[in-house]
Amino acid sequence: MANSKHPTIQLSKALYTSSRLLIQQIQTHLNEFGLTYPQFLALSILWEEDGLKVHELGNRMSLDSGTLTPLLKKLESQNLLKRKRGEADERTVTINLTYPGKSLQSKVMGSISTMEEDFASRMGKQTDELLSAAGEYLEKLKSIKS
Domains belonging to the chain, first-starting first, are: 3-114+121-144 (1.10.10.10)
- Give the tens place of pLDDT for each residue, 11-62: 889 899 999 999 999 999 999 999 999 999 999 999 999 999 999 999 999 9
Cβ atoms of 95 and 51 closer than 8 Å: yes
- Give the tens place of pLDDT for each residue, 93-117: 999 999 999 999 999 999 999 888 8
Cβ atoms of 44 and 102 closer than 8 Å: no
Q: Is the pLDDT of residue 2 over 50?
A: no
